[in-house]
Every structure is written in structure tokens, then in C-alpha cells.
Chains A and B, each alone.
Chain A
Amino acid sequence: MAGGGFDAPEVAQGKGSKHKKKGAGVRIDMTPMVDVIMLLLTFFMLTTTLSAPQLMKVSLPKGDVKDKVKVDMGNVLYVRVSDKGNVYFAQGRSDGSESEMKKVDIKNVSSELEKIYAVNNNLLLLLKFDRKMKYNVMSDVFDEISRAKIERRYAFLKMEDADLQKIMAAGG
């Protein structure tokens, strides 16, 4: 290895010239450091969980479970979801009746909500989910509601037999 690691000495000025001549050829072997860093990198890459879980906040109404809250039935929107995961909207009327149920594709829930809220900004969503429905349908519906640019007011209600019959009549 004659002169293998030595660079040609550069033209140096002044006092330090002698020192520089010697120092110029010193090479630090980085291989062990790279090895260690590689190991560390692999370790951290394998142990990290990059997809951090997301949180969706749910607020239940204040007061006791048995508390009755009076709402204007003309200002409610029923959101019923069948056990198959079909979403139906129906708007309430002041006399307690409601409009015809309209089937909404789950992917369009947020845009449909925005359309309805453009007419009436003061709606309360009454969510009625079938108990046999899968949890991820609920989280999808809730996701859509959260993404709609509306003032969110909602309440979870129990699915009654009357609701089930309405859903059956509308195609399940």
C-alpha cells in the first residue's frame, strides 16, 4: 500500500505547514459508526407506530339519562341507520310527523347534511342506529357528520319498533 492513504500535500503557507503535511493523511474509519447507526435506525423504524390513532369527540347531553328535553319537532332531522348499514334521512315537522324517508349513500352524508343545513341552520340530528348494525357504520356516519361544515347538534336515540317498521317499509 505504498502511499495509499496519503493525498498530495497542498501548498501551505506559514508556520503550520509541517503539521498539515502529517495530518492531511489521517482518515477516520467510519464503518463501525455507520454499523451502529444502521442498527439504531432499524430498531427505531421497526418499533415506531407512525399511524397515530385519531380521536373523534362525542359529547352526550348534559343532565341525567331520564331528563326530558323539549325540542321543536320542526327543527329535527332523523338519521336512521338499518342493520345493513343503509342511512335514511327524514325531516321532522312541527306537528310531530315527519317527511318521507330518503335513502342517502353513506359517502354522501356530509354533503347531504350541508345541503339541508343551508336551508335550516338550526337542526338537531336525532341519530337512531340499529343495535345489530356494525360499529364501523356508526363511526363512518359520525365521521361524515364531523366533516360536514355545520354546527353539530346531535343526540343518540334508541331505535324503536316504529323506526324499524319505517326502515323495513323503505327497504331495510
Chain B
Amino acid sequence: MKKVRDIRKPNITIDMTPMVDVIMLLLTFFMLTATFKAAESEAVEVALPQSIYSDPDNKMKETDVMTLSLTKEGDIFVDVDNYKIREKIFGDQFALGLYHPDSTSQSTVMQTGKVGEKEIKRKVVVMNKAQFEKALVDLKNSLRGMTGNKQAAFQVVVKGDKDVPYGVFEDLMTSLHESDNKIFSLVTMIKSDSKKE
């Protein structure tokens, strides 16, 4: 009996087909849902607040997005996803605009070269209120000039750090209003509704 078993053992094969099927499905799922972030768009990282409300009609556009990042330190970084426009307005393909609305303090970014813990690798253009508002208008105008569409506008998204004082956002709203960007969106991370469960 023992001898027979010894001969049979090497013949046992595990059928991998179901496993391969499942893995294939997973792979397809992840491949289709993957959205790749350009490394440069992560120049400024903020801890986004959470929200429950989700607006199905309001999604982030793929192109022509203007990102306004509010860092914990009270700096506003302005970035667009079009390198040609960046070069035209900020003078460098990878430059970022920086506006520090609080006149009583100074932005520490230029001294330390860091945003939070992270070193900023892109060129930073520091602006005051008037320059910032002019830049917001110029960005929009150069998009219109480039596309030839007079109605073209950036989708303005505000990525605020959850710990930034509201005053920074209030100043940003004033500048957005002045520069005729009256509709914008706050970026948040989705949170499940614990109250309704």
C-alpha cells in the first residue's frame, strides 16, 4: 500500500483555473479604475477634510483644472495643469504661484524650501494680493487665448488643509470673487454617513 501512495503523490495537480479567473477579474477591475497621478501634481500635499455629501454632477475634470492648495501654514499655492500656461504666467513650465494672504506673517516656504515636511521641488513664484488676483485673471485669459474659446474657463478646485485657519480661505474667496471666478469647488475626502446607519 505504501508504495502505491508514493507513486501517486507527484501526480496531484491543483487546478489553478478558478484562481486565474478571479485574478483576471481583479486585474481588469483595477486596470479600469486606475487613475494615475502625475508626480508633479503632488507638489503640495494637504490633509483634506472629510465630507458626507457627494454631488454626482460635480466631478473633477481631466484637463483645464486650476488647483488652489491651502497649506496648514497659511500659504495659498496656485497651479494649473497646462505647462504652457504655467510658462506664460509664471515664467517656468513647472512653476507654482504662492500667495500668503496674512500680512502680519511671512511665508516660510522661501526660507526653508519646504511645505510641511516635504521639500518643494518646483520653482515658486511669490505674489502679493494684487499680483495673485492678476495671475488668476491672466491664467484664465491665456487659456482662452490658447484654446480660441472665449467661454473657456478652468475648473477651480480648492484643496484646503483641514487645519488651515478659515481666514486664509476667506481671503482666497475675496480674491476669487475679484478675479471673476465665482464658482469653485472644495475638494474633500468622502466619509460614510454614520448618522443614518
Q: Is the CB of B165 within 8 A of A56?
A: no
Q: Is A100 an interface residue (CB 8 A)?
A: no
Top 9 A-B pairs, shortest CB-CB distance = A131-B167, A136-B162, A44-B30, A136-B49, A55-B185, A143-B51, A146-B53, A139-B49, A60-B182
Q: Is B55 an interface residue (CB 8 A)?
A: yes
Interface bin, chain B: 35 or more
Q: Is B146 an interface residue (CB 8 A)?
A: no
Q: Is the CB of A65 within 8 A of B174?
A: yes
**Among listed B19-27, B80-88, B111-119, B137-145, interface-contacting one:** B19-27
14 A-B pairs with C-beta separation under 8 A: A4-B10, A34-B20, A38-B23, A55-B186, A56-B55, A56-B188, A60-B183, A61-B182, A65-B174, A65-B178, A129-B170, A131-B167, A136-B162, A147-B53
Q: Which of A38, A51, A136, A137 has the most CB of B within 10 A?
A: A136
Contacts of A44-70 to chain B: CB distance below 8 A: 44-45, 47-62, 65
By a CB distance below 8 angstroms, the chain A residues around B51 are 54, 56, 139-140, 142-143
Q: Which residue of chain B has its CB nearest to the CB of A45?
A: B30
Q: A44-B27, A134-B163, A156-B173 are in contact. Are A37 and B20 (CB under 8 A)?
A: yes
Q: Which residue of chain B has its CB nearest to the CB of A146?
A: B53
With A and B bound together, what is the CA distance between A122 and B169 in angstroms? 28
Q: Is B35 an interface residue (CB 8 A)?
A: yes
Q: Is the CB of A34 within 8 A of B166?
A: no
By a CB distance below 8 angstroms, the chain A residues around B26 are 41, 45
Q: How far is the CB of B81 from chain A (nearest CB, A)?
A: 15
Q: Is B3 an interface residue (CB 8 A)?
A: no
By a CB distance below 8 angstroms, the chain A residues around B54 are 54
With A and B bound together, what is the CA distance between A139 and B49 in angstroms? 7
By a CB distance below 8 angstroms, the chain B residues around A129 are 166, 170
By a CB distance below 8 angstroms, the chain A residues around B97 are none
Q: Is the CB of A135 within 8 A of B161?
A: yes
Q: Is B37 an interface residue (CB 8 A)?
A: yes
Q: Which of A1, A38, A57, A62 has the most CB of B within 10 A?
A: A57
By a CB distance below 8 angstroms, the chain B residues around A48 are 30, 33-35
Q: Which residue of chain B has its CB nearest to the CB of A143?
A: B51
Q: Is B1 an interface residue (CB 8 A)?
A: no
Number of A-B contacts (CB under 8 A): 152
With A and B bound together, what is the CA distance between A143 and B185 in angstroms? 12
Query: Can you name 12 extra interface pairs (CB under 8 A) apart from A57-B183, A137-B166, A158-B170?
Result: A4-B11, A37-B24, A41-B26, A48-B30, A52-B35, A55-B59, A58-B185, A59-B183, A60-B182, A132-B165, A136-B49, A140-B51
- Per-position 1/0 for A90-115, Cβ under 8 A of B: 00000000000000000100000000
Q: Is B157 an interface residue (CB 8 A)?
A: yes
Q: A48-B35, A131-B167, A138-B169 are in contact. Are A53 and B187 (CB under 8 A)?
A: yes
- Per-position 1/0 for B42-82, Cβ under 8 A of A: 00000011111111001110000000001000000000000
Q: How far is the CB of A145 from chain B (nearest CB, A)?
A: 9
